[in-house]
A and B are shown apart, each in its own frame.
Chain A
Amino acid sequence: MSRAFRSLLSLGFLAVTNFVMAEANLGSAAPTWKDLPGTDGKKHSSTELKDKKAVVVAFTCNHCPVAVAYEDRFIAFAKEYAPKGVEFVAINVSNIDDDKLPKMTERAKEKGFNFPYLYDASQKVGKDFGAEKTPHLFVLDGEGKVVFVGAFDDKMDAKKVSKHYVKDAVDAVLSGKEPEVNKTPAHGCGIQYED
């Protein structure tokens, strides 16, 4: 067991806030990030997104079967919504070997990701957002305010989806409304924070 995890246990009382951390961001200005390396070989910052009508930030990773189950849906979403001025950004904060940048780059190429896939080895951006799961979705409005937190949709099995939470939230933003559903539980693999 890692030393980091021991520290986490010994600071167990602090962890109490973690489970509801995601809610803290709802309605507030989204956390920012700076110079995160992407699978495109470039560095990306949240300032690049200032002119977008809406932004979807997806915390995801390579190794998690739930995250993998959503990859095609993310690609389809990015394709459909890019022309509408919506940016989809995937961020990985997992530091296990299968999730690090070289593997991310492989995966992005293999799947043909049509969106930035960024890596934050410091895990800071994940903590700032309160991301707990992969995938864990955050929808930001044109002002950069978090208007939705949760799951991409209501089924891991793509064939059975009936509620498109993220699409609905983005559609609401695009039509100048508040999303009807602004929070759902996320589901997927737990993000392992190292301290």
Chain B
Amino acid sequence: MKFFAPRKHQSGASSSMSLSAVLFVTLLVISGCKKEEPNLPPTPVGPDPEVSKLMIGEKKAADPDFKPNDIIPPPPPVAATTPPPKSDSTSAPTVDVKEVDFAGFHKEIEGLKGKIVVIDCWATWCSICKEKFPKFLELKDKYSADANIVFANLANDPADKLSDVKEFLVKSNASFLSFLLDEDPADFAQHFQVNGVPAYLIYSADGELTFKTGKIEELTAKLAELSPPKN
């Protein structure tokens, strides 16, 4: 039996990262920036770089003050000379963390109706939460083949701890649905009727909170009941 064996969580992480990268490129293209991503297939959205060059050439040719030196050599696109931002580097991945209050969180859960949602509630100050987090990631990997289950994590931390939350998630190679719930820990405990974090919650496909525990072992057992492991 394995305990806390260091594991990579490439499957979920890489798909989210690819999605983020596609979104990023799409945004760059839309904003007129011609930065290219060699690792990605050409995006169907936005003008083809060759077409853009042609358009620039036509404009220049139509300019009465046009001089060949104006385009030879063509000025490189700004983004091509600017080092890519840290967040775009594969060696320093980032994670998206949605900041929510209780209402916002329940809206998100509502939006996931039709799927079972399994949530690890933690906090940056909670050492036991962080110690058990890899175990949750193992579960997430174990059930990655089950399209009916969504895994998420929720940090019960003040909004000004967002960077610490992200840092922990990045360090844990945990790029999946993440929330930051900026509510008093006492309200958290009252709201979910749990003894604070760590708390592991399961919302049924109907969007009902059907299971809660402070023990990852109990969550493991419950998941095995709900969905026998596929691998």
Contact of A19 with B195 in the complex, beta carbons under 8 Å: yes
Which stretch of A79-87, A113-121, A149-157, A168-176 is in the interface?
Answer: A149-157
CA distance A133 to B195 in the complex (A): 7
Looking at A9-17, A41-49, A50-58, A101-109, the stretch in contact with chain B turns out to be A9-17
Q: Contacts A133-B195, A185-B189, A188-B196 given: A6-B3 contact, CB under 8 Å?
A: yes
Give the interface segment out of B39-47, B66-74, B76-84, B179-187: B179-187
CB within 8 Å of A: which B179-231 residues: 184-190, 192-198, 213-215, 217-218, 220-221
Q: Is the CB of A189 within 8 A of B127?
A: yes
Pick from A18, A136, A153 the residue with the most CB of B within 10 Å.
A18
Kindly list chain B residues whose C-beta atoms are within 8 Å of the C-beta of A167: none
Task: Check A185/B194 contact, CB under 8 A, given A19-B215, A156-B186.
Answer: yes
The closest CB in chain A to the CB of B220 belongs to A12
In the complex, which residues of chain A have a beta carbon less than 8 angstroms from the beta carbon of B197? 187, 190
A192 near B195: Cβ-Cβ < 8 Å: no
Query: Which residues of chain B come closer than 8 Å to A188, judged between CB atoms?
Result: 185, 196
B125→A156 contact, CB < 8 A: no
Output the nearest chain B residue to A11 by Cβ-Cβ distance: B217
* CB neighbours of A133 from chain B (8 A): 195-196
Complex Cα–Cα for A18 and B195 (A): 12
Interface size, B (range)? 20 to 34
Q: State whether B215 touches A187 (Cβ < 8 A).
A: no
> Among B126, B196, B197, which residue has the most Cβ atoms of chain A within 10 A?
B196
Q: How far is the CB of B161 from chain A (nearest CB, A)?
A: 11
Q: Is the beta-carbon distance between A187 and B186 smaller than 8 angstroms?
A: yes
CB of B128 closer than 8 Å to a CB of A: yes
Least CB distance, A146 to chain B, in whole angstroms: 16
CA distance A186 to B197 in the complex (A): 10
For residue A75, CB closer than 8 A to chain B, the reply is no
Q: When A and B form their complex, what is the total count of cross-chain residue pairs whose Cβ atoms lie within 8 Å?
A: 83
**Bound Cα distance A132, B128 (Å):** 12
Alpha-carbon distance between A15 and B218 when the two chains are bound, in angstroms: 8
A21 → chain B closest CB, angstroms: 10
Q: Which residue of B lies closest to A165 (CB)?
A: B186
Q: Which of B125, B192, B221 contacts A189 (CB under 8 A)? A: B125
Residues of A within 8 A of B213 (CB): 19
Contacts of A155 in B (CB 8 A): 184, 186-187
B214 with A132: CB separation less than 8 A: yes
Q: Give, as a whole number of angstroms, the nearest-CB distance from A59 to chain B.
A: 12
User: Does B4 have its Cβ within 8 Å of any Cβ on chain A?
Assistant: yes
Give the chain A neighbours of B129 by CB distance below 8 A: 190
Shortest distance from the beta carbon of B42 to any chain A beta carbon, whole Å = 47
Of A1, A133, A190, the most chain B CB neighbours within 10 A belong to A190
A1 to B215 alpha-carbon distance, docked (Å): 17
What are some 20 contacts across the A-B interface (CB < 8 A)? A9-B217, A12-B220, A13-B217, A15-B217, A15-B218, A19-B215, A22-B195, A63-B127, A66-B125, A66-B185, A66-B196, A151-B186, A184-B190, A185-B193, A185-B194, A185-B195, A187-B197, A189-B125, A189-B126, A190-B197
